[in-house]
Amino acid sequence: MGLSVIILAAGQGKRMHSARPKVLQLLAGRPLLAHVLASGKALGASDICVVYGHGGDEVQAAFEGQAIRWALQAEQLGTGHAVQQAMDGTPDDNRVLILFGDVPLLLPGTLQSLMDATSTGEMAILTVVVDDPAGYGRIVREHGNVVRNVEQKDATNDELAIREINTGVMLCPGAKLKAWLARLDNNNAQGEYYLTDVIAMAVADGVRVHGIKATKQEEVMGINDKKQLAEAERALQRRQVEELMEQGVGFADPARVDIRGTLRCGKDVYIDVNAIFEGTVTLADDVRIESNNLIRDSRLGAGTVVHSNCHIEGATTGPGCELGPFARLRPGTELAANVKVGNFVEIKKSNVADGSKVNHLSYIGDSDIGANVNVGAGTITCNYDGMNKYRTRIGDGAFIGSGVNLVAPVEVGSGATIGAGSTITRQVPNGELAISRAKQVTVKGWKARSKRIEKRGD
C-alpha cells in the first residue's frame, strides 16, 4: 500500500494582488509550493499530484523536471472538486494525503504522526484549536469523536463558537475517497463542492475518523495575503535559526538573520546581525560572519572571517581566509588557505593560492594567482577586449605594485616584480622586474592659471 499526496494549488490567491500565482510566492527564497512538495517527499510518497489552475504554465515551469503528476482544475468549483481532478491517476489501494499549496509550514513529523495514528481503511484530519476561528471550517465532535465539519458560512451560532478548526490536511483510503467525492454536492452557502463533506460521509459509512490536533498553530497557518506571507517568513526563519542554535551555531540576534535555502555549519560558527544566506552555503568550523553580509551558494573554510558588507556568490575559500570589509566574490572564485581579500576588491572566475593578498581596490577576473603573491592597491586585470575574455597568470611570490593594469592574456613569472602604475601586456620572466609607464617630466616655468573668482549675484 503506497502513499499518494495530492496538493491543492488551483486557487488564484486574489488577496496577494500579484501577477504571480499564489503558490509561486516566495517563502525563504522558495515558492510556497516547494515547501509543501518537500513535506510530501519527506513522507516517502510514491505519487505526488498537484492540482493546478491559475497560472498553470508558470507553476509547471517552476517545477520542471520534478517527479510530479499534474492535474488541471479548469474551473475552481471547490476543494472537493479539486481533489476529484486528481483521482483518475490515484491508485485505489493507496492512502491519500491531501495538502494545501498555501499551507507551507507543516512539519513532516506532524504529518507522520497523523499517518501513524491511522490504520488501513481509516481516515484522519489534522485540526487545531485556535483563539479566533473566524473564516475556518469548524470541527463538530460527538462524545469526543469527529462527526463532521461545517464551514463558517454554513454554521449555526452554536457551531460558530467551536474553536477546533479544520487545517485542510486529510488522510483517506483511496477507493473510499473516490466513492465519497462522486457523491458530493454543492448545496451550501458558497455553492462549492466541499472536500470537508467527506468527513460526515465517512462517519455514515462506519469509517473511523481520527481528529489529530496540531500543537502549534503556526504550522498550519494558511497564506492568503502578503501580511500572512511575511508572518510565515518570520516563523520559518525563527524555526531555522533555532535548529542551528541547537547545533551550536552562535547568533548575535536570532531575529536578524535570513536563510533562504540551506545553511550548514561546523562547530563554533558565529554570525552577526543582518547576514543573508541564499542557496546552499557551508560554513566550516570557527567561521565568523560579521554584520551585513550576503552569502550565496558558497563554501567557506575553517576559521575564515568575513568582515562587514561583503557580497559573496559561488565562491569557495580554504581555511583561514579573511574577506572584506566591502569585498565582492563572484562565481568561480576559489581562494586557497590564508588568502586575504580586502576592501573594494572584486574577484571572479579566479584561483588564488595560499597566503596571497589582494587588499585594496582591485578587479581580479579570469586569473590564476600563485601562492604568497602580493597584489597592490588598484590592480586591474584587463580580461576583456570587447569580444573575448582572457586569463591572467601570476606565479608564486610575485609582487604586483599599485595601480597596475595586467592586459590579458598575460603571464607574470614567479618571484617577478611589477612597478607601480605599469600596464603589462607581455610576459614577465621569473624573478625579473618589469616597469611599463611613461617617464615623469617636469615642465619648467609653467604657470598655473589663476582661479577666476566670480562675484556671485545676490
Q: Under the rule (CB under 5 A), what is the footprint of Ca ion?
A: 222
Site string for ligand UD1, 254-293 (x = CB under 6 A): ----------------------------------------
Strand arrangement, sheet containing 417-418: 250-251, 270-271, 288-289, 305-306, 322-323, 340-343, 357-360, 374-375, 399-400, 417-418, 433-434
β-pairing, 69-72 vs 47-52, is parallel
| Least separation in angstroms between CB 2 and ligand UD1 | 23
Binding partner of 51, given Ca ion, ligand UD1, none, CB within 5-8 angstroms per partner class:
ligand UD1
Comparing CA positions, the residue from 385, 430, 435 lying closest to residue 412 is 430
| Least separation in angstroms between CB 75 and ligand UD1 | 8
Binding partner of 78, given Ca ion, ligand UD1, none, CB within 5-8 angstroms per partner class:
ligand UD1
Which H/E stretch holds residue 114?
Answer: helix 108-116
Instruction: Label residue 17 exposed, middle or buried (CB < 10 Å: 0-12, 13-18, 19+).
Output: exposed
Q: Which stretch binds ligand UD1 (CB under 6 A): 189-197, 230-238, 267-275, 368-376?
A: 189-197
Comparing CA positions, the residue from 65, 51, 54, 50 lying closest to residue 22 is 54
Mark whether 17 is an active-site residue. no
Q: Which stretch binds ligand UD1 (CB under 6 A): 78-86, 253-261, 286-294, 381-389?
A: 78-86
- 8 Å CB contact between 376 and 392: no
Q: Given 54, 210, 311, 360, which residue is catalytic?
A: 360
Binding partner of 82, given ligand UD1, Ca ion, none, CB within 5-8 angstroms per partner class:
ligand UD1
Distance of CA 59 to the CA centre of its chain: 17
Q: Which residue is it, cell 562547530?
A: 267
What's the sign of the alpha-carbon dihedral 97, 102, 106, 110? negative
Counted residue by residue, the chain has a size of 458
Binding residues for ligand UD1, rule CB under 6 A, total 27
Binding partner of 8, given ligand UD1, Ca ion, none, CB within 5-8 angstroms per partner class:
ligand UD1
Phi-psi region of 65 (alpha: psi -120 to 50; beta: other; left: phi over 0): left
Binding partner of 277, given ligand UD1, Ca ion, none, CB within 5-8 angstroms per partner class:
none
How far apart, in whole angstroms, are the C-alpha atoms of residue 33 and residue 25?
A: 8
Interface with ligand UD1, residue 79, by CB under 6 A: yes
Binding partner of 363, given ligand UD1, Ca ion, none, CB within 5-8 angstroms per partner class:
none
Q: Pick out residues in 389-418 that bind ligand UD1 (CB under 6 A).
A: none
Interface with ligand UD1, residue 237, by CB under 6 A: no
| Least separation in angstroms between CB 259 and Ca ion | 26
- Report which residue's Cβ sits closest to ligand UD1: 137
| Least separation in angstroms between CB 377 and ligand UD1 | 56
Binding partner of 316, given ligand UD1, Ca ion, none, CB within 5-8 angstroms per partner class:
none
How far apart, in whole angstroms, are the C-alpha atoms of residue 277 and residue 291?
A: 12
Q: Which stretch binds ligand UD1 (CB under 6 A): 94-102, 209-217, 292-300, 397-405?
A: 94-102
How far apart, in whole angstroms, are the C-alpha atoms of residue 78 and residue 89?
A: 20
Selected binder of ligand UD1 within 11, 211, 318, 370 (CB under 6 A): 11
Q: Which is nearer to ligand UD1, 21 or 320 (CB)?
A: 21
- 8 Å CB contact between 403 and 377: yes
| Least separation in angstroms between CB 127 and ligand UD1 | 9
Selected binder of ligand UD1 within 3, 5, 6, 9 (CB under 6 A): 9
Interface with ligand UD1, residue 76, by CB under 6 A: yes
Interface with ligand UD1, residue 100, by CB under 6 A: yes
Site string for ligand UD1, 117-156 (x = CB under 6 A): -------------------xx-----------x-x-----
Q: Which residue is it, cell 569557495?
A: 316
Instruction: Label residue 107 exposed, middle or buried (CB < 10 Å: 0-12, 13-18, 19+).
Output: middle
Q: Which value, in Å, is the radius of gyration of the alpha carbons in the chain?
A: 31
- 8 Å CB contact between 393 and 400: no
Interface with ligand UD1, residue 222, by CB under 6 A: yes
Instruction: Label residue 250 exposed, middle or buried (CB < 10 Å: 0-12, 13-18, 19+).
Output: middle
How far apart, in whole angstroms, are the C-alpha atoms of residue 231 and residue 399?
A: 53
| Least separation in angstroms between CB 137 and ligand UD1 | 2
Q: Pick out residues in 192-211 that bind ligand UD1 (CB under 6 A).
A: 194-196
DSSP state of 413: -
Q: Which is nearer to ligand UD1, 130 or 407 (CB)?
A: 130
Q: Residues with catalytic annotation?
A: 360
Q: Footprint of ligand UD1 on this chain (CB under 6 A)?
A: 8-11, 51, 73, 76-79, 81-82, 100-102, 136-137, 149, 151, 165-168, 194-196, 222
